[in-house]
Amino acid sequence: MAKTGEWTIYITKAAINLMVNKMDYAVPEQDLKISMSRIPAIPRSRFRIKLH
């Protein structure tokens, strides 16, 4: 049986492959400024993609 870390790597690779090779999307204009006073530090408008 695979260890937990191995499954995480496998799922991450599969998700990246799907987004890079199989999905058609655009990244609309957004506010990607990061507030370092917020935990976790994430972009103000999050990160959005528009699927086609």
DSSP code at position 40: S
**Number of domains present in the structure of the chain:** 1
Q: What average pLDDT does the segment 42-49 reach?
A: 84
Q: How far apart are CA 3 and CA 24, in angstroms?
A: 32
The domain containing residue 31 runs over which residues? 4-51
Percent of the chain with pLDDT over 70: 96
Indicate if the pLDDT at residue 2 is higher than 80: no
Instruction: Indicate the pTM of the whole model.
Output: 0.49
- pLDDT at residue 44 in the model: 80
